[in-house]
Structure 1
Amino acid sequence: MENVIQIPYTPRPAWAKVLHKELSRHRFAVIVAHRRFGKTIGMVNHLIRDALQSDLISPQYALVGPFSAQMEIIAWGPLKYYTSVIEGIKVNETKKYVEFPSKVPGAQGARIYIVGANNPDALRGTYWDGVILDEYSDMKPEMWTQIIRPAIENGDRKGYCYFIGTPKGQNNFYEMYKKAKTNKRYFAYLSNVYDSGIIDAKSIEELKEDMPEVEFRQEYLCDFSVSAINELFSLEELDRAFNRELTEKDIPYDMPLVQGADIARFGDDRTCIWQRKGLMVYPRPRVYKKLNTMQTADYIALAMDENKADMTFIDVGNMGAGVVDRLRQMGYTALREIPFQGAAIENKRYENIRAEMYFKLKEWIEAGGALPEEPGLREELAVIHYKYSKNGRLMLTPKEEIKEKLGRSPDLADGLVLTFARNVPLRQLGLDDRKPKKLMCNTEYSIMEAV
């Protein structure tokens, strides 16, 4: 008698009655559902079932979310938990996949990978028998058209792809849902909080009372007509900034060179030093870990000297004040300490200077600013959201929430926005200064640790 594997998963009614059955009958599907619907857990278990039942040689599946760190939190743990009862299961913590016992001697067993869309190279150049795009609203459309679609078309092995998420305005996910409703090859499903019956009526009323109406309509009523108004940087904005190419006229010689330094406080946090001139941010910021006060001051001084920075703004958290004191002792005067929770210059509009700096970055991008493709920067900017305080002032997602979502501190983004802390006067140029000069940029710096 064949062994029966009992996975510790009890599907919610919608999954048991409709979704698992319909997904098995369709190669493409779009699932729109409210928060707490159980989208990710349901898809994790759907992949497990397919991996167990597959008769293909070395089948491969992937659950893809917007960010690697986020997916490690919400999907990697559940995948390991639900597969832990399978005898012979192998877990690869580095590459984030589980491998099932092989049904074919000498062949690789079925694998399920947990992947972030911020790491598209991990999905290129291979085949997939099944892919889930989780929170597709937060992904670039190219993730589907250029990477996943070709990878599931592998000869006679026709892989499937399912798109799941909660609305965030009329974006790529909305377009995919519209397509699914009219295309017979697709299965389309939408469930708001009243349809699913997962949340009781009293809790729904409390959610309505505690949340802004637009957020409730978007996240619990699955209303695509509500824009993601609390998203500071849209995917389109970031794409323009990261793909923008500048010419000499975009970087006038009299523009000041401004430096921002976010100081690491503890553990795995990083000290990040950025330089910006006009609409250009220098590529390759200086990034360090585990420095003491004196070492941090030395590296900031080195960066200040590199291109003769006109002003350096330094985060004065737990360690920053000591760094500023040391730099002044060394004779550096073109610097200012910036407390992220300090009062904004426009204190009637912004709750603190942190919010003000990030909105200045947004205005700079809209004015034509260009960002370098520094690994991790796009991810950190994409998770920044804003709302209004009780006083009607703009405030940002608390840093603790960002760290929880990313799995790290947004040090790159914080260092960058420090270059917008204050306005810096134009350089007073002599005749020699008006000649074109090649700006230096860091090419040798990656994450460095003190030894």
Structure 2
Amino acid sequence: MAEVSPKMELARRIGEFRYSPVNHALFAYPWETERLPSTGPRTWQREMFQQIEEHLSSPATRHTPCRIAVASGHGIGKSAGISMVNKWALDTCVDTRVVVTANTEGQLLTKTGPELTKWCQLALTSDWFKPSATSIASLMRGHDKAWRTDLVTWSENNTEAFAGLHNQGKRIVLIFDEASGIAAKVWEVALGALTDEDTEILWLAFGNPTQNTGAFRECFGKARNLWKTKQIDSRTVEGTNKAYLDELVRTYGEESDIAKVRVRGLFPSASSMQFIALDAVEAAQKRQPFDALGSEPVIFGVDCARMGDDESVLAIRCGRDAVSRPWKRWSKMDSMTLAGDIALEADKYHPDMIFVDAGNIGAAIVDRLRQLRPDVPVIEVWFGAEGRDAELEPGVRVHTANKRAEMWTKMRHWLRGACIPPEDRLRDDLIGPTYSFGGDDTSIMLERKKDMKKRGLPSPDWGDALACTFAEPVMPRAVPGYLNPDNYEGSGGDRYAELD
């Protein structure tokens, strides 16, 4: 019987770990040595590797995408975990394709890339692949183009590397590092890599949860049924600097955004320069509708859109209650039909005022509503008109750069005690816009819709509709009897007549 060479024996042993990243890691690296003094992968890394093994070991799930998202504080060994997955994926399946990207080119090429190279060189199979600044390619003749890892920088205008990631019948691994900063367009295009039949597909997203909007946040929100998620407090992980982490928490507070993002692995209440905080919106969505005062006016706010992905939305508010009267939305609706539908809603709820975004098709809707409902004031709202001072916090008034910023500022203050519909789209719209300061450095300016779309966020149609209900003050429906001067004795209703 011919003697098996050490190289062939190594290849056979590595092949045994086709579906087991944890056993590959324990076998392939020199643990408990000067080069790698720990005893093996950290607990959270082992748990992630086990999720991958369970997914690939079952014929029922093997050829369906395995999506894992990990949000964490600092120092948990994220780059090492990524590197071990990368090396396992390359070692255990011929012609595996791995694509790694990060939030910035600097992160990818100066942090993620060198860590991938380090772990490739630590492994028993270090001579199987050749690392470079932007790739790790197989040294097997004829396989260097098909069996490899590529470090790919992205831009929203150049997503071909993600759109063209196919490897039918083999294995695809897509890794997003510092995923909070990767644009939604890149996430969207990457979905094309999940369509190959009979293919092992892994999509792993890691990062500090710095933004509470965007695709990474949605892995833990409305898309959580598609992803295996984990949020890791750095203080619970072996090898982290717990004294420093505890100092951060003591200094800024357990519930501060710094502690949430940098230590606890939780998404912040408000991202940097975010105008409305997530916790304020979620609290408003959890409140139950309550009886409004009989004098509270019913106000319609209409945000108009005709074509494209944007929606026309009717928001209905009565005092602090924006839930009891169902909102309406329309897609790709012409102005005359839209005006007719709004008039029908007015027949049901008898609004005291209808505010309509006059941009786009709004001016035509205003004219038609005035014809259909001459008994209800219909006011056009120009978002770019001059803004007035508005209350941002109790007792704090600010300048606003335009009408839209004024309305959103009033709405932000109102949300503190309000109830709003528990719709994901409304939540996303309200927390989506950032703010800046106008040319005078004192006027609050809200992020423009077109700039939000560049970040991969939709036009905040639901948020703008609700904001329209704050365009102008609306008088109460009826003055309570105790405030009505006619109820006081005295000539001509003069409550002070007896003093003459």
> Would you call these one fold, judging by a TM-score over 0.5?
yes
- Pick from 153, 158, 162: which aligns with 1:80? 162
Aligned twin of 2:98 = none
Kept in 1, the 8 Å contact 2:310–2:458? The answer is yes
- 1:403, distance to aligned residue in structure 2 (A): 2.0
Show CA shifts across 1:223-256 (max 9, x none).
Answer: 99xx8562211122122111112332xx112110
Q: CA deviation at 1:96?
A: 3.4
1:46 CA drift (Å):
7.8
User: Secondary structure in 1 aligned to 2:340?
Assistant: helix
Which of 394, 412, 433 is the equivalent residue of 1:384? 433
Structure 1 unmatched runs, 5+: 3-20, 34-38, 56-62, 66-71, 103-107, 114-129, 153-159, 164-175, 191-217, 432-451
SS in 1 for 2:399: coil
Tell me which of 302, 311, 321 is aligned to 2:353: 311
Q: Does the residue aligned with 2:421 lie in a helix, a strand or coil?
A: coil
**How many percent of aligned residue pairs carry the same amino acid?**
23
AA at the equivalent of 1:381: L
8 Å contact from structure 2 (residues 299, 318) kept in 1: yes
Q: 1:47 to 1:314 in 2, by over 3 A?
A: farther
The one-letter amino acid of 2:439's match is K
Q: Report the Cα offset of residue 133 of structure 1.
A: 5.2
Deviations 1:95-128 (A, max 9, x none): 93745989xxxxx643335xxxxxxxxxxxxxxx
Greater RCO (CA < 8 Å, at least 6 residues apart): 1
Give deviations 1:291-347, integer Å, cap 9, x for gaps.
222112111211222200110100000211111112222243411000111112339
Q: Is the 8 A contact 2:314 2:328 kept in 1?
A: yes
Match of 1:172 in 2: none
Say if 1:48 and 1:83, in contact at 8 Å, map to a contact too.
no
Q: Does 1:279 align with 2:353?
A: no
Q: 2:304 aligns with which of 263, 270, 276?
A: 263
Q: Find the counterpart in structure 2 of residue 416 from structure 1.
A: 466
Give the number of aligned pairs: 315
AA at the equivalent of 1:184: E
Match of 2:200 in 1: 110
Residues 317 and 50 from structure 1, CA distance in 2 versus in 1: closer, same or farther, beyond 3 angstroms? farther
Partners of 2:361 and 2:231 in 1: CA distance: 47
Q: What residue identity is the alignment partner of 2:202?
A: I
Amino acid of the structure 1 residue aligned with 2:338: T
Helix, strand or coil at the partner of 1:184: coil
Q: Which residue of 1 aligns with 2:386?
A: 343
Question: Does the 8 Å contact 2:167/2:199 carry over to 1?
Answer: no
Q: In the alignment, does 2:278 pair up with 1:240?
A: no
Distance in 2 separating the partners of 1:379 and 1:389: 24
Normalising by structure 1, we get a TM-score of 0.56
Deviation for aligned residue 1:411: 0.9
Query: Which whole-Å CA distance do the structure 2 matches of 1:363 and 1:322 have between them?
Result: 31
Name the structure 1 match of 2:3.
none
Indicate the residue corresponding to 1:69 in structure 2. none
The answer as to 2:419 corresponding to 1:370 is: yes
Q: Is the Cα–Cα contact under 8 Å of residues 89 and 100 in structure 1 kept in the other structure?
A: no
Residue 349 of structure 1 aligns to a residue whose secondary structure is strand
Structure 2 gap segments, 5+ residues each: 1-7, 12-35, 46-69, 94-100, 104-153, 175-186, 245-257, 265-269, 391-397, 482-500
Aligned partners of 1:133 and 1:223: how far apart in 2?
12
Q: Which amino acid aligns with 1:111?
A: I
Aligned equivalents of 2:381, 2:426: Cα separation in 1? 21
* TM-score (normalised: structure 2): 0.51
SS in 1 for 2:387: coil
Distance 1:112 1:187 in 2: 31
Number of the residue aligned with 2:191: 96
- Structure 1 distance, partners of 2:208, 2:345, is 41
Provide the C-alpha distance between the structure 2 equivalents of 1:141 and 1:379, rounded to a whole number of angstroms: 11
Contact 2:302 2:314 in 1 (8 A): yes
Q: Which structure: larger Rg?
A: 2
